Amino acid sequence: MKKQIAIYKNNKTIIINIIPTIIFIACIISIITLVAFKINKKENYPMTGIVTEVNKESNIVTIKDFNGNLWEFEGCEDWEENDICSCIMNNKGTENIKDDEIIKVKYSGYFKGWD
């Protein structure tokens, strides 16, 4: 009987030590999840535009989106006027579109005009 009581006390001690550890791990996971959610908030959005100017001297490409805003990025490579490009934009966490920046640009085709 004394041996059973000793085993019971050892199991009780183990359980008492495991519960705070489980609670601690759950808290850490919750904190990491909250931080990850804050970091990944929706700051990126897609934007499509047409290349309006390619300045090979300064290596700047100017594009116009369908709202009439002009954007610039570096890297003329194979870009030509009237190329269509798809961009990933970052709003930097603000509502003001003027401070947004282009993160990534991909070629999406060529626009010949409406005729």
Residues 7-49: pLDDT tens digits? 555 666 666 777 777 787 877 877 777 666 655 567 889 999 9
Task: Show me where the domains of the chain are located.
Answer: 1-41, 44-110
Residue 52, φ and ψ in degrees, nearest 5: -105, -25
Beta carbons within 10 angstroms of residue 73's beta carbon: 18
**Tens of pLDDT, residues 76-98:** 989 999 999 999 999 988 889 99
Q: How many angstroms separate the CA atoms of 96 and 76, rounded?
A: 27
At residue 63, the pLDDT reads 96
pLDDT band at 102 (very low <50, low <70, confident <90, very high): very high
The fourth-level CATH superfamily of domain 44-110 is: Nucleic acid-binding proteins (2.40.50.140)
